[in-house]
């Protein structure tokens, strides 16, 4: 006859998820205006030639906002995928492998997006 608290003890820290939860909420809030900015930019540049796109991206605010969008988007993606992996993969070795592979892939694609924007800026 053990209490629910007694059964839960020894199953890991219950306080480690708060930072992860807050980071996910903050990136979601940052993605709202940044995504709207991206959609507005796409509409503004509809039908524009390459020179107009390069001029648009060369403006400091546009470059900074696109970089902020990439950072928030890929960090939010990594946080969300980590939760899914941790919830649905029960083997410790497979879970660790999946989390490491996911982080590597998200980092790679995030860097590719960042380099693409930096090439347009400079």
Summarize pLDDT for 84-118 with one digit per residue, the tens: 999 999 999 999 999 999 999 999 999 999 999 99
Domain of residue 55, CATH code = 1.20.1300.10
Has this prediction a pTM greater than 0.95?
no
Is residue 54 one of the residues assigned to a domain?
A: yes
Q: What is the pLDDT of residues 52-89, one digit of tens each?
A: 999 999 999 999 999 999 999 999 999 999 999 999 99
CA 61, 62, 64, 68 torsion-angle sign: positive
Q: What is the pLDDT of residue 6?
A: 66
Can you give the residue range of the structural domain that contains 63? Answer: 20-121
* pLDDT at position 10: 63
Beta-carbon contacts of 95 under 8 Å, excluding residues fewer than 6 positions away, are 85, 86, 89
- For residues 82 and 102, the answer to whether their CB atoms sit within 8 Å is yes
What total number of domains does the chain contain? 1
Is residue 9 in a domain?
Answer: no
Q: Answer yes or no: is pLDDT of 50 > 90.
A: yes
């Amino acid at each position: 006859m053990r209490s629910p608290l007694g059964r839960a003890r020894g199953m890991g820290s219950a306080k480690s998820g708060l930072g992860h939860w807050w980071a996910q909420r903050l990136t979601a809030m940052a993605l709202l205006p940044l995504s709207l900015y991206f959609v507005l930019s796409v509409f503004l540049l509809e039908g524009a030639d390459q020179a107009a796109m390069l001029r648009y991206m060369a403006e400091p605010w546009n470059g900074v906002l696109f970089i902020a969008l990439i950072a928030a988007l890929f960090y939010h993606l990594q946080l969300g995928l980590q939760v899914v992996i941790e919830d649905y993969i029960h083997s410790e070795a497979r879970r660790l492998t999946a989390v490491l592979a996911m982080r590597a892939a998200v980092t790679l694609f995030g860097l590719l997006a960042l380099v693409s924007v930096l090439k347009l800026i400079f």
